[in-house]
Structure 1
Amino acid sequence: MSKQVKESLTVSPFFLFFLIHGAQTGVGMLSFQSKIVIGADQDAWVSVLLVGFSFHLIIWLMYFLLKKSNNGDILSLHQQLFGKWIGNIFNLCFYGYIILTVSTIVRSYVEILQVWVFPYVHLWELSLIIVLASTYIVSGGFRVVTGMCFWGVVLPSVLLVTLYFPLKYANWNNLLPLLNHSLGDYIVSANQTITNYLGPELLLIYFPFIKNNHDSQKWAHISIAYTTVLYFIITIVSFVYFNIRQLEHTVWPTLILSKIIRLPFIERFEYIYIFAWLLVILPPCCVFLWAGTRILRTTINLKPKTSLWISSAIVFVIVINLKSEISIENINSCLTTTGLIFLYCYIPTLFFLLNIINFFKKRKSLEN
């Protein structure tokens, strides 16, 4: 059984569903359709499902690693496998990945606000509001962050009803011909899909904060399954409303879908959509920021508040320096590559390395 922090700081295994799903659904949900069509075109929904299925395997690998870790997290596992100094270097690399993720989320959402709602408001002003809001929530501790994830999943779920309106104009022939692409095409689309599924890797940090964590794996798999179904539904709705050529030139397809909604008392429904999405992007920002704070606290013994403010300041500085569209695309591309390497290369490598070490230990004990 993995070690766990004192019970007053833990949350029930049920909340793992909201922690994982809340970290996975962010600003990428508004634009991923125009990216995944690169490669598999109208069959990109297959790549969405394949990536979702692959994350179930990654969850299984992570639980294996966590149960073998001394303190139930990847921070102690790094030190266990590589020693204190090299292990801390790997921990700080993970911290860099976390900061990169938060910066990408904040900058992408601010871009939407500037283009759609506040074209004359400065980048630093909008960024500061989001970073300070995230910092305030994280300062309340892991339970407050979990509560933010809960409401960040429940309240925006009402927006799923709006997917009914585009279906009234659906052209199901847009999905034809079915399954007429090569494996390479599906891999290209899958590579563009991975960014939207990032988030479960933080389980490697907050696992000790899950009560009875050895029995919580089913909630992690349920969360991944729900996220996969959600992305699949949005993909299908987008594909039957837009044709492939339209999607290639549409930056935020999900927001465009909301523009067709007309209600007697609301003329510009997309404004409600954009502002409600703040509740969607805050959970991943908070979970990642909390994880970064814990890494600094554990690795270099900084106080929690000091770690939090250092992390928030780094994020803010990075965001305000991403001023051009090219820089935003570059940081998104960097996050995709980093997430791909971490999830599909590094975690399996740790799995095999740990098994090899255990094999030789058992062999040596039998010889003795």
Structure 2
Amino acid sequence: MKMGTTRITTMQMITLLSSTLIAVGIFTLPRTLAIEVGTPDLWICILIGGIFGYLSALIMVSLSLRFNRLTFFEFNKLIVGKWVGTILSVCFIGYALLIGSFEIRSMGELTQFYLLEETPISVILISMYWVAMYLLVGGINPIARLIELLTPICIIIFILVFALGFKVFEFNNLRPLLGLGAAPVLKGLTPTFLTFSGLEFLLVFIAMMQNPKDAKKVAFFGLAIPVSIYLFAVVVITGGLSVERMKHQKWPTFALIQEYEYEGILFERFESLFLVVWLIQMFTTYVVCQYVAAKGVSTLTRISYKKANYILLAAVYIICLVPKDLNELEKMGTIIGWTSFVFSFIVPGLLLLIALVRRLKQDGETKDET
């Protein structure tokens, strides 16, 4: 494969980033925020979380552009040395695997609960792995093209399904505004860390862009799309169910969709359509996570990108089966959220500071992933 074919366009990068951030959080975030915040101010948490996410994205963009065409796995060694850089890279690979495992396990749980109740979850997971592998072995370009194709369709269906939810919407469920002050809102910022996990992959993908100078545009639009969608979802779900009902619903998103029904049109009930769309979103997020992990392994070792993908399948499968139930899966999500904060803000911030102090800046070229 020629080097020129491994570049992704600005639009592909925007859809790739936004698709990575729009995943299982659409199911888990409303309930988690309702429990943590306990007031109708859930939507404020998402806005603040999105602002902090954009600030961290600007840090990552500034860091990546100082080392043109070098990924995180390559330029961190130039900043902090070979050994510390290798440790950071290994931790980043583990983090990507953790997110990927969380997404595909959540995808398996949803599939089993709503579609294949009698099917063992291990069978569901293995089936998903091999479909993902078929896409992964082709490298970043097939992944980016597929996501570019699917993301607009998923967003349109999402907006349609939730807009129909206004049939049961009660504006009073969003009142009062800041009735208990700002303290509950601050408590609700932690769950947004998981929601925006995956933003750190900018540290890898900016090096693969055809025009890296558009990275700030990618950060803005790639984050604005999921923030808008999560904001829309939480507002509609809160208005349709109320905060108290959201606390006691396993999947508030589906609970809302099951509240309304439209007769005389192609779909009278929309939960199946919505489930298919968001299974696609979780699948693409898993694929991106696995790609990043495999790219890291191939960069650090002499193992090829394709072989790294097959090796990592075993690791993902084992991690997937660690949570015994949904409660443990939620704890896993909390761990991912805090780890995301480390890799999206603390690590890039420190690396950028060191690079500025040492006046480090270098051009390079990424290697062929195959």
CA contact (8 A) 2:40 2:175 kept: yes
Alpha-carbon distance, 1:178 to partner = 0.8
- Structure 1 residues 309 and 263, CA gap change in structure 2 (3 angstroms): farther
Alpha-carbon distance, 1:221 to partner = 0.7
Alignment partner, residue 90 of structure 1: 88
Alpha-carbon distance, 1:66 to partner = 0.6
Q: Superposition pairs for residues 134-213 of structure 1, below 5 Å?
A: 134-157=132-155, 158-213=157-212
CA contact (8 A) 1:104 1:332 kept: yes
- Structure 1 residues 225 and 41, CA gap change in structure 2 (3 angstroms): same
Alignment partner, residue 312 of structure 1: 313
Q: Superposition pairs for residues 272-291 of structure 1, below 5 Å?
A: 272-291=273-292
Alpha-carbon distance, 1:40 to partner = 5.5
Of residues 288-297 and 108-117 in structure 1, the stretch that sits farther from structure 2 once superposed is: 108-117
CA contact (8 A) 2:64 2:207 kept: no
Alpha-carbon distance, 1:137 to partner = 0.8
Q: Superposition pairs for residues 19-168 of structure 1, below 5 Å?
A: 19-37=16-34, 38-39=36-37, 41-69=39-67, 71-157=69-155, 158-168=157-167
Alignment partner, residue 325 of structure 1: 326
Distance 1:136 1:282 in 2: 13
Alignment partner, residue 224 of structure 1: 223
Distance 1:50 1:196 in 2: 13
Alpha-carbon distance, 1:151 to partner = 2.7
Alpha-carbon distance, 1:148 to partner = 2.2
Distance 2:225 2:184 in 1: 25
Of residues 18-27 and 149-158 in structure 1, the stretch that sits farther from structure 2 once superposed is: 149-158
Alignment partner, residue 368 of structure 2: none
Say whether residues 1:292 and 2:254 are aligned partners: no
Q: How many residues align?
A: 355
Question: Aligned letter for 2:120?
Answer: H
Alignment partner, residue 358 of structure 2: 357
Question: Aligned letter for 1:97?
Answer: Y
Distance 1:180 1:354 in 2: 45
Question: Aligned letter for 1:317?
Answer: I
Alignment partner, residue 12 of structure 1: 9
Q: Superposition pairs for residues 264-275 of structure 1, below 5 Å?
A: 264=264, 266=267, 268-275=269-276
CA contact (8 A) 2:11 2:148 kept: no
TM-score by length of 2: 0.91
Secondary structure of 1:121's partner?
coil
Distance 1:164 1:64 in 2: 37
CA contact (8 A) 1:258 1:270 kept: yes
Question: Aligned letter for 1:257?
Answer: L
Secondary structure of 1:42's partner?
coil
Alpha-carbon distance, 1:70 to partner = 6.0
CA contact (8 A) 1:40 1:189 kept: no
CA contact (8 A) 1:43 1:181 kept: no
Distance 1:261 1:30 in 2: 20
Secondary structure of 2:70's partner?
coil
CA contact (8 A) 2:108 2:124 kept: yes
CA contact (8 A) 1:30 1:253 kept: yes
Secondary structure of 2:336's partner?
helix
Unpaired runs of at least 5, structure 2: 361-370
Alignment partner, residue 244 of structure 2: 245
Distance 1:106 1:261 in 2: 30
Question: Aligned letter for 1:128?
Answer: I
Alignment partner, residue 364 of structure 2: none
Q: Superposition pairs for residues 324-343 of structure 1, below 5 Å?
A: 324-343=325-344
Alpha-carbon distance, 1:69 to partner = 2.3
Unpaired runs of at least 5, structure 1: 360-368
- Structure 1 residues 85 and 282, CA gap change in structure 2 (3 angstroms): same
Alpha-carbon distance, 1:337 to partner = 1.7
Alpha-carbon distance, 1:106 to partner = 0.7
Secondary structure of 1:72's partner?
coil
- Structure 1 residues 112 and 356, CA gap change in structure 2 (3 angstroms): same
Secondary structure of 1:41's partner?
coil
Question: Aligned letter for 1:11?
Answer: I
CA contact (8 A) 1:171 1:241 kept: yes
Alignment partner, residue 261 of structure 1: 261
